[in-house]
Structure 1
Amino acid sequence: MKILNNKSLQTFLAIGPMISIIITLLGYFIFAFGTVIYAIVEEPESDPSLFFTGGMLFFFVLMILSFILSLANIVFFVLHAAKNPNLEKENMRLIWILVIVFVMVFGLGSMIYWFAEIKTKNPKPIIPNQF
């Protein structure tokens, strides 16, 4: 599987979910403080619903993108761990798959796997093409 050996995709999927969640949280705080400031600064007769709706839509789009990126992260690294030829001894494959799945907070499990089993290994694990 050629895509599992792509170094830039591995790096993006290892670091991307954490960055996207941070950006989503920053977007939420900007939205929340912007709503409060808008309510204070604007005239009482103005309608803040357009500002509020636009801010919520932007926040939900960021949340959905973060969710999709996190899901792609988990699927990619579980597949990588399942096919990694370096993990054939002492149930290491099962241990890494469980770490990736159960420590998926902010993509932390896959980031640990990427750093420990891909980034720092010499030689790098090459997933053989099976198709």
Structure 2
Amino acid sequence: MLNSRFWQGFFALAPFIGLFLMVIAYFVFFLATFSNIEQLENADGPPMEFFGGLAFFIVMIFLMVFISLGSLVFYIVHAVKNPNLKEHNLLLVWILLFVFASGIGQLIYWFVEIIGKRNEGPVVV
């Protein structure tokens, strides 16, 4: 799984794509809420449209948290098993970058260590 190009790309790009979709969903949710504010105020019971949209938004937040944590674990394991990092003592630098700059760190690692060194030969992980 660590050598799969699909999973490497997925865990590098999924947090950013998910963040972009979450921002769009955030604006759609509040636009729909504020456009129906009179109906929500005059409703006899609880506003199910509001709670349905809020529940979907909360589920998406939890999904993004799990994808981000999965990306962090995937790239830490990939860096630990990468023999090129042990030769140059870059392992600690990459792991600290993953932890402190979580999404950006994985994306930079993907570009520099995986895509950038793909033509140099196979990385045995």
Asked if TM exceeds 0.5, the reply is: yes
How big is the shift at 1:4? 0.7
Structure-1 residue corresponding to 2:49: 51
Shift of the 37–55 alpha-carbon distance from structure 1 to 2, 3 Å rule, reads: same
Structure-2 residue corresponding to 1:25: 23
Contact 2:12 2:106 in 1 (8 A): yes
Q: Distance in 1 between matches of 2:76 and 2:10?
A: 15
What percent of counterpart residues are identical?
39
Structure-2 residue corresponding to 1:102: 100
How big is the shift at 1:126? 2.5
SS at match of 2:123: coil
The partner residue of 2:111 within 95, 115, 122 is 115
How big is the shift at 1:82? 0.5
Shift of the 44–91 alpha-carbon distance from structure 1 to 2, 3 Å rule, reads: closer
Normalising by structure 2, report the TM-score: 0.90
Q: Distance in 2 between matches of 1:108 and 1:35?
A: 32
Unaligned runs of 5+ in 1: none
Alignment of 1:73-112 (within 5 A): 73-104=71-102, 107-112=103-108
Q: Segments of 4+ in structure 1 off by > 4 A?
A: none
Contact 1:118 1:124 in 2 (8 A): no
Say yes or no: does 1:62 pair with 2:60: yes
Q: Give deviations 1:72-92, integer Å, cap 9, x for gaps.
A: 000000000011011122321
How big is the shift at 1:46? 2.6
Unaligned runs of 5+ in 2: none
